[in-house]
Chains A and B, each alone.
Chain A
Amino acid sequence: MKDVLRAAGITKRFAGILALDDVSLRIGEGERVGLIGPNGAGKTTLFNCLLGVLAADGGTVEVAGRDVSRLRAHRRARLGLGRTFQRIELFPETSVRDHLLIAERVRRGTGRLWKDLLGLGRPTAEETRRCDEVLELLGLVELADAPVERLSLGQGRLVEVGRALMTRPAMLLLDEPSSGLDRAETAALATTLREVQREQGFAILLVEHDVELVTGFTTRSYVLDFGRLIAEGPTGEVMASDSVRAAYLGTYAPPGTTGRDGAQAETVTAATASVAGRAATTGTATTTEEETR
């Protein structure tokens, strides 16, 4: 099995705090892989380093055998890394169909300023057809012309998936797709994703809290804690391991407390650190909010 994505020795620091420490992973064609870990473990940071949203301080990323470490996010996207977001990143005031159409156009790379000027920039029949296919696949046909503001969160996430699919990704990176969704919605999303993935054959890297979703959806998982990989293997085994349980339950104390608050603001707890961290960099405050309390 060929690797779609291979990362080696990814390291990332924020203001001297090690957020990712020598993380390596690989994902094969069509594989469904999970990435789990407690809050502040560095999952989103790793995600962003893989995708080029953040520049890693060390390590390499390869997509289908090509080194993309120095490429920016949009170049990596064009090379086959599609993604969705934990906090939905749709384009306001734009219809569902338009989301898909612009993605298709960018993939084709046929947009030119002079074509726009001559009114030749409108979607072609071929583009519309492909767009309709994906809408069908995701069950979004009825919502095609709705502005995204009218969608529910679950539908919004599907639009993100659809938008990513238009780029014909070799791999789809899903950032906490269950966040904000209830159980039923999550299940429905998982079902749709599984069907689409089966049909199109791309690989999936799933960052997720929802243990149930990870267990049911992925075959293999990586576990991240304090910026380091602490376990990898078949999802079921990994979930059962002691160290993973310890990390999740918070009883596991790592040697050398660098403090997980230094990691990229990821969720509620990290936000406090961010306030303090920024205040500290201003030179106007040295106490953190944690200490004040």
Chain B
Amino acid sequence: MATDSSSVGADFLRAVLQGAPPGAVYALVALGFVLTYQTSGVFNLAFGAQAYVSAAMYFKARLIWGWPTVWAVLLSVVVLAPLVGLALELLIFKHLRSASAVSKLVVAIGLAVALPNLFDIITSFKPASGVTPVGVVPGGADVFYSVFGLYRFSRNELVDMGVALVAVIGLGAVFRFSPIGLRMRAVVESARMTELNGIAASRVAAFSWALSSLFAGVAGVLIAPRFNTLGSSDFFSLMVVAIAAAAVGSLASLPLALAGGLGLGIVIAELNTFLPRWGTDSAWVRTVQDNLTPSVPFLVLFAVLALVPGIRRAQGAGDPLSGVEPPPTARAGRPDPRRAMAMRLLGAAVVAGGGAVVLTRGDQLWVYQVTQAVVIAIIFLSVTVITGTGGQISLCQGAFAAIGACTVYQLAVRYDMSVLVAMLLGGLVAAAVGAFLSLPVRRLGGIWTAIATLAFAYFFDAVMIKLSWVGGGAASLLRGTAVPRPRLGPWDLSHENTFLVFAAVVLAVVAAAVVALRSGTFGRSLIALRGSEVGAQSIGISAARTRLTAFAVSAFIAGLGGGLLAISQRDVNYGANFTPFAALFWTVLVVALGSRSVPGALIAAAAFALFEPLVLGGAVVGWLTRERHPLPSLFPIDGKWLFILFGLAAIQFARHPEGLVEYGLSGRSRPARPGQPAIGGNRS
């Protein structure tokens, strides 16, 4: 081994050591993720939220209440974490055991949004600046141990790495040598059959959830000291990186997840060590240097998706015994046409009446809020296409919308193009990106679409938006990302009411297009594909091509809406509008209220922009009681309830994919057959 501490060899080795601690953190989360997936069959995007809950509980107990470490760990990890897991299993997943992987994924997304907010409200937890999370060993961040004289590990880091290693060995042993290990796997494969074999599936599943949630708690408490302030969105993005590590082992292998996590940490450290030595003469090299490091996890994930055929086996494994059961019944019957027409007329009346009231008598704030609802509704219609009609979960609609918004900004500001033309071009650019993005996943489908789109959203957030030809770079800081309001013939769209009418017209056109597409060849092919991929193929429908078109159409609508949003706010406002975590809520909201229909998207948009001021803010109660500030002890209600309510509402997606609006209004009841999946597709 090189002893000269400045030689390339020593640098390489030092970078390996430096990459190991963050790698261990990725590995911890990746292990937990694989553990949950393997023992519960749920692609648990709420894992980060579960880890956050334990980390925040530990923080609160240890630093705010001043408890000793042991008691704080007992409460947050040993008690709270498994309780959360048991609650999830008993209240939710128990009833979804044979649901498709995709519908369970949607449930997990809803939980990812609802859980942290619920915890924050119950415990009135807030991030505290300057009070940094501490580890579980005294002096964890300050006591160091030298390794080969090259680098020193802190106590916290040694604990992280130790636990990751012990977890791989311990969990491996559980699966290998204990009967419960195999039973857990068996329940995932086929709950029905394990019960035929005399194993109480529900008890095994409860144990699985308690175990994996316990691990989420362990991971949360251990990784918290790497963050300076605790925020659930940080845990979520860390989880997205960790998914890349887990994907290295096809979401199946614990040792490979560990290797993937460590590998990611080390590769990033090596890049940070050696990349800067290239010299920084050409702008091109600079761009690569700046952006390669943050892109690594996403490049890894895309490489896995594109290159590893093995993941196809891991995709949405169905219950082998489901073949002997009748196929899942989704929505049965169709709404009574007369009532449907009545509802349509009523809806139109409400929209027209509400619009007239807002336009004639609404003040600036209401015009603004309604305008936001109208513009967001356009973006939400993109979810109607990809998720409602196509049955695919896309988590990068925010990135598509941002592409539209940035295109408008670039073309209008830099090239002085008409913003309305730029808006259409923005949609087209987004469509091209969407089509390209669908290439690696269009044949995989299912949860892999969700993973890949989530990775793309974070890639866009970490890399793309900072490029000067996308988000404006330094120029945007100095000048802002301002977007002008155009004139359209005799109408000056800088007038707020005129703009609202214009946005409503665009919305109407897009909604009509969505309806037309759905009843045309494309829509019916997509619905067929959603219902049964092999069935659709058997009559000559190309899954790949149809999905590519679906992605392109959906991205076009999102891009168009994003452009219009930028025009309406006169600014791109990326950070306020389009971040991946914010856009995750879009999907949750549309899915909860109704991704199948145009009214579902419209009501979701109204909920997004108006629920808080109308309901939580107390405006409705204010109107009813004719008080300016009704019930000051109650209103305004914390805005976090928006996330909790609709996050939890998204849970019903697994059984009622048509959403709350349609389900509630149609008065349709369904046979109480627990665990029947209701989303079509991906049963392969």
Q: Does B344 count as interface, using CB distance less than 8 angstroms?
A: no
- Residue B329 at the chain A interface, CB threshold 8 Å: yes
**In contact, A91 and B331 (Cβ under 8 angstroms):** no
B535 touches A89 (CB 8 A): yes
Measured between beta carbons, the chain B residues less than 8 angstroms from A278 are 185, 189, 252, 313, 317
B659 to nearest A CB, angstroms? 13
Contact with B along A67-97 (1 / 0, CB 8 A): 0000011110110001101111111111000
* In the complex, B186 has a CB within 8 A of chain A: yes
CB neighbours (8 Å) of B537 from chain A are 53, 72-74, 77
**Which residue in A98, A103, A149, A289 is a CB contact (below 8 Å) of B186?**
A289
Chain A residue nearest in CB terms to B329: A149
Contact across chains for B333 and A271 when beta carbons are under 8 A apart: no
Is B356 on the interface with A (CB-CB < 8 A)? Answer: no
Tell me if A281 and B252 are in contact (CB < 8 A).
yes
- Other-chain residue from B326, B332, B520 in contact with A116 (beta carbon distance below 8 A): B520
- A111 and B521 contacting across the interface, CB-CB below 8 Å: yes
Q: How far is B182's CA from A278's CA once the two chains are assembled, in angstroms? A: 11
Q: How far apart sit A164 and B531, CA to CA, in the bound complex (Å)?
A: 16
How far is it, in angstroms, between the C-alpha of A113 and the C-alpha of B520 when the chains are bound? 8
Given A150-B332, A167-B540, do A90 and B535 touch, yes or no (CB 8 Å)?
yes
Pair B185/A275 contact, Cβ less than 8 Å: yes
Contact A117/B513 with A284-B38, A284-B172 known, Cβ cut-off 8 Å: yes
Whether a CB of chain A sits under 8 angstroms from the CB of B255 is yes
B175 & A111 in contact (Cβ 8 Å cutoff): no
Contact, CB under 8 Å: A285 / B176:
yes
Contact (Cβ within 8 A) A91 B549 = no
Give the residue name and chain of the B residue nearest to A88 (CB).
B327
A83 vs B197: C-alpha distance in the bound complex, in angstroms? 34
A residues in contact with B521, CB < 8 Å: 102, 105-106, 110-112, 115-116, 121
Cβ of A258 under 8 Å from chain B = no
CB contact list, A38-80 vs B, under 8 A: 51, 53, 72-75, 77-78
Interface string of B428-460 (1 = CB under 8 A from A): 000000000000000000000000000000000
Tell me the complex Cα distance, A133–B517, Å: 27
User: Is residue B539 contacting chain A, with contact meaning CB distance below 8 A?
Assistant: yes
Interface string of B524-543 (1 = CB under 8 A from A): 11011011101111111111
| Given A92-B331, A272-B193, also A163-B182 (CB < 8 A) | no
Residues of B286-334 whose CB lies within 8 A of A: 313, 317, 320-324, 326-334
B526 smallest CB distance to A (angstroms):
10
Q: Is the CB of A153 within 8 A of B326?
A: yes
Q: Point out the residues of chain A lying under 8 angstroms from B541, CB to CB.
A: 74, 102, 106
Query: Shortest CB–CB separation between residue A65 and chain B, in angstroms?
Result: 20
Name the A residues within 8 Å of B182 (CB-CB): 279, 285, 287, 289, 292
Are A87 and B327 touching (Cβ within 8 A)?
Answer: yes
Provided the pairs A112-B521, A153-B326, A274-B189 are in contact, do residues A285 and B175 lie with their beta carbons within 8 angstroms? yes
Task: Out of B190, B513, B531, B540, name the residue touching A77 (CB < 8 Å).
Answer: B540
Which chain A residue shows the least CB distance to B530?
A91
A257 within 8 A of B: no
Task: Give the Cβ gap from A287 to chain B, nearest Cβ, in Å.
Answer: 7
Distance between A245 CB and nearest chain B CB, rounded to angstroms: 26
B320 touches A271 (CB 8 A): yes
Q: Which of B239-254 contact A (CB under 8 A)?
A: 252-254
The answer to whether A121 and B520 touch (CB under 8 A), given A147-B333, A272-B193, A284-B172, is yes
Q: Is A140 an interface residue (CB 8 A)?
A: no
Q: How far is the CA of A160 from the CA of B534 in the complex (A)?
A: 12
Indicate whether A116 sits within 8 Å of B522 (C-beta atoms), given known contacts A268-B324, A284-B254: yes
Closest A residue to B330 by CB, please name it. Answer: A92
- Enumerate A147-180 residues with CB–CB distance to B below 8 Å: 147, 149-150, 153, 160, 163-164, 166-167, 180
Question: Are B534 and A150 in contact, with the CB atoms below 8 A?
Answer: no
Please give the distance in Å from B240's CB to the nearest CB on chain A: 23
Task: Tell me the B36-67 residues at the A interface (CB within 8 Å).
Answer: 38
What mask results when residues 87 to 98 of chain B are scored 1 for a CB within 8 Å of chain A, else 0?
A: 000000000000
Contact A279:B185 (CB < 8 A) given known A91-B680, A117-B517: yes
Given the contacts A51-B538, A116-B520, A102 and B324 also touching, CB distance less than 8 Å: no
With contacts A121-B520, A265-B320, A275-B186 taken as known, whether A91 is within 8 angstroms of B540 at the C-beta atoms is no
**Cα separation A112 to B332 with both chains bound (whole Å):** 30
Q: Does B181 have its Cβ within 8 Å of any Cβ on chain A?
A: yes
What 1/0 flags go to A108-150 for Cβ under 8 Å of B?
0011110111111110000000000000000000000001011
Q: Residues of B contacting A149 with CB < 8 Å?
A: 329-333
Q: Which residue of chain A has its CB nearest to the CB of B679?
A: A92
- Closest-by-CB residue of A relative to B522 is A116
Question: Are A271 and B321 interface neighbours, CB within 8 A?
Answer: yes
Instruction: List B contacts of A282 (CB < 8 A).
Output: 38, 175, 185, 252-254
Q: Scan residues 238-293 of chain A and give those whose CB is less than 8 A from a CB of chain B.
A: 265, 267-268, 270-272, 274-275, 278-279, 281-287, 289, 292-293
- A72–B322 CA distance with the chains assembled, in angstroms: 26
Q: In the assembled complex, which residues on chain A have CB atoms less than 8 Å from the CB atom of B329?
A: 92, 149
If A87-B327, A147-B334, A271-B320 touch, whether A121 touches B539 (CB-CB below 8 Å) is: no
Quick one: which of A75, A77, A150 has the most chain B CB within 10 A?
A77
Q: Is the C-beta of A107 less than 8 angstroms from some C-beta in chain B? A: yes
Most buried by B among A105, A112, A286: A105
Hey, which chain A residues are within 8 Å of B172, CB to CB? Answer: 283-284
The answer to whether the Cβ of B421 comes within 8 Å of any Cβ in the partner chain is: no
B79 contacts the other chain (CB 8 A): no
B540–A74 contact, CB under 8 A? yes
User: Shortest Cβ distance from A34 into chain B, in angstroms?
Assistant: 20
Indicate if the CB atoms of B539 and A77 lie closer than 8 Å. yes
Distance of A159 Cα from B524 Cα, bound (Å): 17
Q: Chain B nearest CB: distance from A66 CB in Å?
A: 15
Q: Please, which residue of chain B has its CB at the minimum distance from the CB of A84?
A: B538
Tell me the bound Cα distance from A275 to B538 in angstroms: 28
Per-position contact with A for B157-195: 1 when CB-CB < 8 Å, else 0? Answer: 000000000000001100110010110011001100100
Please, how many angstroms separate the alpha-carbon atoms of A278 and B521 in the complex? 38
User: Chain B residues near A289 (CB, 8 Å)?
Assistant: 182, 186, 197
Q: In this complex, what residue of B is CB-closest to A51?
A: B538
Q: Contact: B520 with A122, CB < 8 Å? A: yes
**Central interface residue in B321, B327, B519, B544, by most chain A CB within 10 Å:** B327
Residues of chain A lying within 8 A (CB to CB) of residue B320: 265, 268, 270-271, 274-275
A166's nearest neighbour on chain B, judged by CB, is: B539
Residues of chain B with a CB closer than 8 A to A78's CB: 540
Shortest beta-carbon distance from B309 to chain A in Å: 10
In the bound complex, residues from chain B placing their C-beta under 8 Å from that of A275 are 185-186, 189-190, 193, 320
Query: What's the minimum C-beta distance from A155 to chain B, rounded to whole angstroms?
Result: 13
Q: How many whole Å from A231's CB to the nearest CB in chain B?
A: 27
Q: Which of B491-548 contact A (CB under 8 A)?
A: 513, 516-517, 519-525, 527-528, 530-532, 534-544
Closest chain B residue to A292, Cβ basis = B182
From A85, A113, A268, A285, contact of B321 by CB (8 A): A268
Rounded to whole Å, the gap between the CB of A135 and the closest CB of chain B is 16
Contact: A118 with B524, CB < 8 Å?
Answer: no
Beyond contacts A93-B680, A282-B175: 4 other A-B pairs, Cβ-Cβ < 8 A, are A73-B534, A102-B539, A111-B522, A166-B539
13 A/B residue pairs, CB under 8 Å, sorted by A:
A73-B534, A83-B538, A91-B528, A91-B531, A91-B536, A92-B327, A94-B528, A119-B516, A121-B519, A122-B519, A272-B193, A278-B189, A287-B182
Interface residues of A (CB under 8 A from B): 51, 53, 72-75, 77-78, 82-83, 85-94, 98, 101-103, 105-107, 110-113, 115-122, 147, 149-150, 153, 160, 163-164, 166-167, 180, 265, 267-268, 270-272, 274-275, 278-279, 281-287, 289, 292-293
A-B interface, 5 closest residue pairs, ranked by CB to CB distance from nearest: A121-B520, A116-B520, A111-B521, A91-B531, A271-B320
Q: Which B residues are closer than 8 A to A by beta carbons? A: 38, 171-172, 175-176, 179, 181-182, 185-186, 189-190, 193, 197, 252-256, 313, 317, 320-324, 326-334, 513, 516-517, 519-525, 527-528, 530-532, 534-544, 549, 553, 680
